[in-house]
A and B are shown apart, each in its own frame.
Chain A
Amino acid sequence: MDNIKNQQIKKQVERWDLFARISPTLFLLTTLFLTIFEIVKIEYAFYVGLIGFAVTAVTWWWWAIFTIKYLITTLARASANLTDVDQEVADVREDIRKLKNEG
């Protein structure tokens, strides 16, 4: 279950990375082309950019919050499991020491 979720997060990070690399340049070039050739008014392009920026910022913010929450939960569980393993290893070591003393 964790592995599937981890893979999903990895894919989402890759998609964000691609989006961050492409979208600013693509939007800038498209806007320049459309406004220079007077296909779209600069005012509309400005508002489209503003709305796009706002939607991206809000989406990223919530995605980041949920992802961080998931990572912290996973980290806490892994840490608790490691503590259990550490305790079990200590118990086994103690048992072996006792067996050796009895022998």
Chain B
Amino acid sequence: MRDNTFKIIKAATNVTSGLSMAALIVLGVMYVSFTNAFVFNNSGISVTNNPVTGDQINFILEGSREHKCVLTRVHSHAINNETGEIFDFDFDKKVYLRSDDYLGNATGVVDHQWGIPRPENMPAGVYEVSLYSEFDCVYLLFTKAKVQMFDDIVLIIE
């Protein structure tokens, strides 16, 4: 091999090796940041029609979403503060009041409002609502199943 050709090959491998190393480091940092990110940031859920007098409980979720995530499973229940009795909410019967993207994957500011029928035989009182949701999140080449929980949502039934 001629000396010049050898020098060019050496320089080219130097450049590609450096670029590959930089790409690996950038991808690694991006992956760690993606896996550690929450689905919703600066978010919270609250009941908008407290104290609830009718048959429907209305919720609002405010916050922001950095990555594209699709909701795959959700579970929510309310615990009576006095008796400790647990009432599950039926998410199959939820109605969207404001958003059409709660199950979707849009990023940016999130402002979802939905209503759920009040469970049968739910007596008046103060309840603590928890919401557990599972998502499939996607970012560039990366995919990750994530879980986000919301606790301490106050619900007052009259």
Contact digits for B115-157, partner A, Cβ 8 Å, 1 yes 0 no? 0000000000000000000000000011100000000000000
- Please tell me if the beta carbons of A21 and B17 are within 8 angstroms of each other in the complex: yes
Residue from B13, B14, B24, B141 in contact with A49 in the complex, judged by beta carbons closer than 8 Å: B24
CB distance from B134 to the nearest CB of A (A): 17
Which of A3-11, A22-30, A69-77, A87-95 forms contacts with chain B? A22-30
- Please tell me if the beta carbons of B141 and A24 are within 8 angstroms of each other in the complex: no
- Please tell me if the beta carbons of A24 and B21 are within 8 angstroms of each other in the complex: yes
Identify which of residues 48-84 in chain A touch chain B, using a CB-to-CB cut-off of 8 Å.
49-50
Closest residue of chain A to B35, judged by CB? A43
Let me know if B44 is at the binding interface, CB within 8 A: no
- Please tell me if the beta carbons of A21 and B141 are within 8 angstroms of each other in the complex: no
Please name all residues of chain B whose beta carbon is closer than 8 Å to the beta carbon of A36 when the two chains form the complex.
141
Let me know if A42 is at the binding interface, CB within 8 A: yes
Candidate in B14, B20, B141, B143 with the most chain A CB atoms within 10 angstroms = B20
Size band of the interface chain A makes with B: 10 to 19
Contact digits for B3-36, partner A, Cβ 8 Å, 1 yes 0 no? 0000000100110111011011000100100000
Tell me the count of chain B residues lying within 8 A, CB to CB, of chain A: 15
- Please tell me if the beta carbons of A42 and B142 are within 8 angstroms of each other in the complex: yes
A25 vs B17: C-alpha distance when bound (angstroms): 6
Closest residue of chain A to B32, judged by CB? A46
- Please tell me if the beta carbons of B17 and A24 are within 8 angstroms of each other in the complex: yes
- Please tell me if the beta carbons of B17 and A22 are within 8 angstroms of each other in the complex: yes
A41 vs B42: C-alpha distance when bound (angstroms): 30
CB distance from A42 to the nearest CB of B (A): 6
Residues of A within 8 A of B (CB): 20-25, 27-28, 32, 35-36, 42, 46, 49-50
Q: List 16 A-B contacts (CB under 8 A).
A: A20-B17, A21-B13, A23-B17, A24-B18, A24-B21, A25-B16, A25-B17, A27-B20, A28-B24, A35-B141, A42-B31, A42-B143, A46-B28, A46-B31, A49-B24, A50-B28
